[in-house]
Amino acid sequence: MKFRIGIFCCLWLLSWSCSTRQPVNNSQPAQNAPSEKGDKKTKHDKDTASDQPGANGVNSAACDRSLWSRVYEPERLEVQDECKVVTGTIAERDSDEDGDEHMLLKLDDGQDDLLTKKNLKKKDGNLVIEAVCVNPSTLKKVGSTCKGFTNSVQLPNVGDHVRVTGSLVNDTHNGWTEIHPITRIEKLGQ
């Protein structure tokens, strides 16, 4: 069973990667072209960053794709933006039995377009954000998703004003949007 889950995750990531590739305009040099040494970089690599501004005009920082191998049931999450930066205030925080730390983020002004009707109705207008593998899991069906891995993301307290970087997804089981998995959380000044 663990082998099947591992194969599924690899195939899902591969199909996700292939479906998000964009055609290259050959009249201009490709932004992610291989260097003369032959090492190829893609927009999914950890050390690349988007030139597109994130929330409030802040450039997106690189997201850690390897965290997707630590997401429980990744097939339920539809990726809206591979690497999104949002800012807001932590409204709630609790541990989930799958080992993730669930938080609700009251978004700063100008980011309400990231929320769905379910965020508004079920989450009091907040964005769900999740840091994977922060806590021990109490669910047997999670299996080895977090085995040998402890997430080092710095968790904020309720009331902290933060910048969150991660994948913006639609949780198809619940109908709300989330940043899941979180790559980084930075505390900001009030």
How many other CB atoms are found less than 10 A from the CB of residue 80? 13
Map out the domains of the chain as residue ranges: 2-18+53-187
Q: What is the pLDDT of residue 190?
A: 63
Instruction: Give the residues of the chain that fall short of pLDDT 50.
Output: 1-5, 7-60
pTM greater than 0.85 (yes/no): no
Q: Distance between CA 140 and CA 1 in Å, rounded?
A: 12
Q: What is the pLDDT of residue 147?
A: 85
Per-residue pLDDT tens digits for 79-105: 999 999 999 999 999 988 888 899 999
φ/ψ of 178, rounded to 5, equals -145, 160
Cβ atoms 127, 48 nearer than 8 A: no
Q: What is the pLDDT of residue 149?
A: 85
How many other CB atoms are found less than 10 A from the CB of residue 166? 28
Per-residue pLDDT tens digits for 111-120: 999 999 999 9
Q: What is the pLDDT of residue 61?
A: 54
Cβ atoms 126, 92 nearer than 8 A: yes
Fold assignment, 2-18+53-187: OB fold (Dihydrolipoamide Acetyltransferase, E2P) (2.40.50)
